[in-house]
Amino acid sequence: RRFTTRLKRVIFGALKSMFLNKESDERNYRPLELVAKLGLQDRVTIVNEFIPNEDVHKYFQVSDAILLFYETATPSGVESIAYNFRMPILATCVGHFPDTVKDGYNGYLAAPNDIESMASAMRKAIEKPIPRENVAETSRKMSWDNYARAVLGTNGTSA
C-alpha cells in the first residue's frame, strides 16, 4: 500500500483510541450479528476497515445515499465527498449538518439518539428519493470558488 494510506491508518487508529469514550468503545457493536438476525446478508455489505483514497469512489458509485447519524459532528469530509458524487445525505441535526443538509432538498435530517426519527429519515429517502440535481446544486454552492468569494467579499469580478 502507499505510504500515505498506511500513515493515515496509523494516525486514525491512534486518535480513535485517544478520543473514544469508554461507554461507546464499540466492544458491544456487532453489525454482522444484527445483519444475520434480520436476514439481510444478501442485501447488506459491511466494510469495517480503512478505505484507501484510491478505492473511495467505488463505495460512492454503488450507493443511493450516505447516512451520517452522529451524536456530535464537526465538518465532515465524507459529506463533501458525497456531494461531489451527487449523493443525498441523511444526517442527524448535530454540528453543521442543519446548515448544509436542507431537509427534503439535498437530504433528510433526523434527531440524534432517536431511532424513530432516523428510521423516518430512511423511509423518506426510499419513498421520496432526493433528485441528484438538487445535490449537484448544493455541491456547486459549496465550491471552493464560492467559498473564496465569500471570504474575500467579492462577487467574482476583478478589482
For domain 60-159, give its CATH number from 3.30.565.10, 3.40.50.300, 1.50.10.10, 3.40.50.2000.
3.40.50.2000
Q: What is the pLDDT of residue 21?
A: 53
Phi, psi of 90 (to 5 degrees): -110, 115
Q: Enumerate the domain spans of the chain.
A: 1-50, 60-159
Q: What is the pLDDT of residue 42?
A: 86
Distance CA 94, CA 63 (A): 23
Q: What is the pLDDT of residue 151?
A: 83
In this structure, which amino acid lies at residue 65?
Answer: A
Q: What is the pLDDT of residue 29?
A: 64
Count CB-CB contacts under 10 A for residue 102: 15
**Considering Cα of 35, then 37, then 38, then 40, what sign does the dihedral take?**
positive
8 A C-beta contact, residue 69 and residue 90: yes
Distance CA 34, CA 56 (A): 25
Q: What is the pLDDT of residue 143?
A: 75
Question: From first to last of its 159 residues, what are the pLDDT tens digits of the chain?
Answer: 566 666 666 666 665 555 555 555 556 667 778 888 888 888 877 787 898 989 989 988 888 999 999 988 887 788 888 998 999 999 999 999 999 999 999 999 999 999 999 999 999 999 999 999 999 998 888 777 877 887 888 765 555
Q: What is the pLDDT of residue 3?
A: 62
What pTM value is reported for the model? 0.68
Q: What is the pLDDT of residue 5?
A: 65
